[in-house]
Amino acid sequence: MVNLNAVAPGGGREYYVALGLEGSANKLGVGVVKHPVVGKHEGGDFSYDCESQILSNVRDTYITPAGEGFLPRDTARHHKNWCVRLIKQALEEAGIQNAAKDLDVICFTKGPGMGAPLHSVVVAARTCSLLWGVPLVGVNHCVGHIEMGREITKAVDPVVLYVSGGNTQVIAYSEKRYRIFGETLDIAIGNCLDRFARTLRISNYPSPGYNIEQLALNCKKKDTLLELPYTVKGMDLSMSGILAYIDNLAKDLFRDNRKNRQLFDRDSDEAKISVEDLCFALQENLFAMLVEITERAMAHVNSNQVLIVGGVGCNLRLQEMMQQMCQDRANGQVHATDERFCIDNGVMIAHAGLLQYRMGDFVKDLSETVVTQKFRTDEVYVAWRE
Amino acid sequence: MSVPFASYSSPDLESHVFRVDPTCPRYQTTDGSTTGPSPHVLNAGQIDKDRPSEPRTDDNGQITTLGQLRCHLTGLQDEINDFLTERMEIAKGKKTKLEESREQRIETEIKGLLDGGDDNGNDDNS
């Protein structure tokens, strides 16, 4: 039987407070979350309903010039130089006067992610822990997304589609683990979109994926979809070939290569395809692949709920396509969150870390705080669920 | 205040200790020489917004204890980075030399075979 109240809150309080630090990629997020002590949590699986209160959720993104990605060294430098300022801001917004007394736990992203930025953040977490005498919890980034999504949407046991710059996975819970049913065999969907945005040299602000979504909305030929490779392989998918294919199309378009008859009309030599059309086609193709494997996973586990998490989960077209698929299934429901919780943030780390802490799982020695670039979702023992 | 230090050891090097020299300019700044932005992103037009703040000073114009610690750590980081880069360069040089000698050996062997050296060897053994 799961007892989420196994560890009592500090200072005789009737609630737990956690500080969460996230920095596995180019977003540096700091959040503070509060869980009240609720009687029902002592005897059952209510981890999707912790009655969480988000006290603060601040974020700063390392943004590079158009056409450039973010390098580990520079991203780590960004996190190192902003981390303390963001922690101060988050604590102030949350009304935390005395962190040593008011915090139960400090949660940090243990992995997966880029090594150097993860390292910058864990150093800050360790320092705060030693300074305030508050225990640490290392959190799996993917599990952070899943638990935050469940808490916000109250989805009890959904099939999870986790789509971001570094990950593309279809996940379902079974016997204390989040099992991966399907995933990318090469690059993540967000990486595919970001790299195409680099080819187009469109701005990285607020995010390349958002700018592609806006360009796709302006597509004038939505009825005549440009044909792209469709690479679903069983429950997995592959996106690097699609990226190479559409990259070549974009380059031919910019070079005005009229020999390419897919792009230029045979008779008039006029361009048949615009940048907007390319963005639309890429999105439709990739999202159709995601919907297909998600539907198959739903059929496999006999579920009617989908929860979309991760940065790409903000994309309204993806949500719409998933909704269309779910409408065809009995009582099908799609759950998604907005950019505050979809995009990497500190609150999700605080929330998932607090679930771990409440089950008595926290760092006993600093040697356990080593961050790791590889940390698969199914490596985590999910003690807080039946 | 105790002064930070760092030590490095590896199978081919017993121990190398990095110590702070407060008189050296490297230990008087928070803006390290090896911890700036990558030239690649600067060339791409990046504006550096992540430069560390100057060490804080008290009413007497003296650098505060924490400010001093930041300066010392920046200097140590620079020392370590320079040291490791140098080791990488040496390792790279060694690797190139090894590769060169290996290639030379293979080339000699092939030449020998083409010139009938293999037959000679067999003749000697027979």
Write down the ipTM of this complex. Answer: 0.76
pLDDT of residue B69: 95
Convert the pLDDT of each residue in B51-81 to its tens digit.
898 999 999 999 999 999 999 999 999 999 9
CB burial readout A76-89, b (16+ within 10 A) else e: bbbbbbbbeebbee
Q: Looking at the structure, do residues A176 and A194 belong to the same domain, yes or no?
A: yes
- For residue A32, the cross-strand partners are A19, A56
Residue A189 maps to a domain: yes
What is the DSSP secondary-structure string of A124-146?
HHHHHHHHHT--EEEEEHHHHHH
Q: Looking at the structure, do residues A241 and A356 belong to the same domain, yes or no?
A: no
In angstroms, the CA A58 to CA A174 distance is 33
Sequence-distant (6+) residues with CB within 8 A of A270 are: A264
Residue A204 maps to a domain: yes
Residue A248 maps to a domain: yes
pLDDT of residue B114: 77
Does A67 touch chain B if contact means CB atoms closer than 8 Å? yes
We report the CATH number of the domain holding residue A66 as 3.30.420.40
Residue A74 to residue B44, Cβ atoms within 8 A: no
Residue B41 to residue A71, Cβ atoms within 8 A: yes
Structure tokens at A262: 């897919």
In angstroms, the CA A161 to CA A309 distance is 6
Q: Looking at the structure, do residues A352 and A322 belong to the same domain, yes or no?
A: no
How many C-beta atoms surround the C-beta of residue A210 within 10 A?
20
Does A287 touch chain B if contact means CB atoms closer than 8 Å? no
The closest of A187, A214, A186 to A283, measured between CA atoms, is A214
Structure tokens at A226: 């440009």
Rounded to two decimals, the pTM is: 0.89
Handedness of CA B105, B108, B113, B117 (dihedral sign): negative
Q: Encode chain A (386 residues) as per-residue pLDDT tens digits.
A: 899 999 999 999 999 999 999 999 999 999 999 999 999 999 888 999 999 999 999 999 999 999 999 999 999 999 999 999 999 999 999 999 999 999 999 999 999 999 999 999 999 999 999 999 999 999 999 999 999 999 999 999 999 999 999 999 999 999 999 999 999 999 999 999 999 999 999 999 999 999 999 999 999 989 889 999 999 999 999 999 999 999 999 999 999 999 898 899 888 888 989 999 999 999 999 999 999 999 999 999 999 999 999 999 999 999 999 999 999 988 899 999 999 999 999 999 999 999 999 999 999 999 999 999 999 999 999 999 99
In angstroms, the CA B90 to CA B92 distance is 5
Residue A384 maps to a domain: no
Domain containing residue A108:
10-150+344-379
| Minimum CA–CA partner of A60 in chain B | B50
Q: Looking at the structure, do residues A17 and A142 belong to the same domain, yes or no?
A: yes
Does A198 touch chain B if contact means CB atoms closer than 8 Å? no
Asked whether residue B119 carries a pLDDT value surpassing 70, the answer given is no
Furthest-apart CA pair in chain B: how many Å?
93
Minimal Cβ distance to A64: which of B35, B46, B51: B46
How near does any CA of chain B get to the CA of A195, in Å?
16
| Minimum CA–CA partner of A66 in chain B | B44
Per CB-CB distance under 8 Å, the chain B contacts of A124 are none
Per CB-CB distance under 8 Å, the chain B contacts of A73 are 38
| Minimum CA–CA partner of B49 in chain A | A78
| Interface residue ranges in chain B relative to chain A, Cβ cutoff 8 Å | 35-38, 40-41, 44-46, 50-52
Q: Looking at the structure, do residues A365 and A276 belong to the same domain, yes or no?
A: no
- Report how many domains make up chain A: 2
pLDDT of residue B72: 97
Per CB-CB distance under 8 Å, the chain A contacts of B51 are 81
